[in-house]
Amino acid sequence: MISIKSLSKIYKSKHNEVKAVDHLNLNIKNGEIFGVIGYSGAGKSTFIRLLNRLEEPTEGEITINGKDITKLGSRSLRKERQKIGMIFQHFNLLWSRTVLENISFPLEIAGVPRDERKKKVLELIKLVGLSGRENYYPSQLSGGQKQRVGIARALANDPDVLLCDEATSALDPQTTDDILDLLVDINNKLGLTIILITHEMHVIQKICHRVAVMEGGKVIEQGDALDVFMHPKEKTTKRFVQQVMGPEQDQAFIESLIKSYESGKVVRLHFVGESTNQALISELSKTFDININILQGNITQTQEGAYGTLFVHLDGTNEEIEKAINFISKTSVEVEVQSYAE
């Protein structure tokens, strides 16, 4: 468990002060992928650098594995930092060193014997999918390959926690997905906790178990990723969700659907988790004497399950339509009637 209590970072100058992180409180579970999302200036990058004291907090506590790292002296801090790996947006590789030598660097600092270092590094190279490129230099690698080196280097000391500061924002969409898949694989195989900073909701959607939304140095919303996608409360969170799902359908859109049909009912079906895999539409058409038109819909997948909304038009007798709606309401799919036959 990582416990963060009343964490603050204030930058002061002669004429003013900036609260980059403002009394932030979070609990992060062992072994989970926890996302922190926010727009530029939200304080998220400062926050992640506070976790390993690359930035010194103004006040607050950061407890990792039972130790408050804000109270550690320099020698103890160096030891604890070996348990906290970090990967960066722009890779931060040593350009005069090969892949093997870059990954080996933290082991050299830790005083690991040469033969043991090489064995460990070759295992990591295989883990991140860079076998055959041991002797390449960073200039010979693609962006995704450079980030794989960064990930392997961050794992060299067998950390308990991996911090990712905008680790995919410099990559193209396909490479981003490949790196995210790698992080999920590492999380599953090694069981380490991953804290991921991003401004892209796609990243949260794809791999995070839980998420916190930052704005103005504060956490304004947090929860399970699926719950945040389904029920965003804050304006900023809704904007992020729209990056993936598109704009929320307004009343004018719903009324336009209703006016398109003179009979039957327009209903909104809300699918959550396993219910998205149900062949509901097919089952309705086979069971009841109704016609079904799919009008509009969107379903997306998160690490915690899928969710989505579907607008459909049900046409038939009022009795058959009511039977169909009652049938739906007994499943895990939420149903909301938008219009009634006249």
Q: Are residues 237 and 280 in the same domain?
A: no
Of 221, 241, 261, which residue constitutes the final position of a domain?
241
The DSSP result for 16-56, as a single string, is -EEEEEEEEEEEE-TT-EEEEE--TTSSHHHHHHHHTTSS-
294 and 199 belong to one structural domain? no
Residue 93 · residue 149 · CB < 8 Å: yes
For CA atoms 95, 97, 98, 102, give the dihedral sign.
Answer: negative
Domain, as residue range, for 279: 251-337
- For residue 303, give the DSSP letter: T
Last residue of a domain, one of 241, 262, 297: 241
Residue 67 belongs to some domain of the structure: yes
CB 335, CB 268: distance < 8 Å: yes
Looking at the structure, tell me whether residues 90 and 117 fall in a common domain.
Answer: yes
Q: In this structure, what token pair is assigned to residue 311? A: 């607008």
Q: What does 186-224 look like in DSSP terms, one character per residue?
A: HHHHH--EEEEEES-HHHHHHH-SEEEEEETTEEEEEEE
| Residue at which a domain ends, from 206, 241, 276 | 241
Mean pLDDT of the chain: 88
Amino acid letter for position 102: N
- The residues facing 18 across adjacent strands are 11
Same structural domain, 228 and 272 = no
CB 148 within 8 A of CB 129: yes
Both 180 and 295 in one domain: the answer is: no
Q: Is the pLDDT assigned to residue 207 strictly greater than 60?
A: yes
Is residue 341's pLDDT more than 50?
Answer: no
Instruction: State percent of the chain over pLDDT 70.
Output: 92
Q: Among residues 216, 329, 204, which one has the least CA distance to residue 275?
A: 329
What pTM does this model have? Answer: 0.81
What's the total number of domains in the chain?
Answer: 2
211 and 274 inside one domain? no
pLDDT of 77 above 50: yes
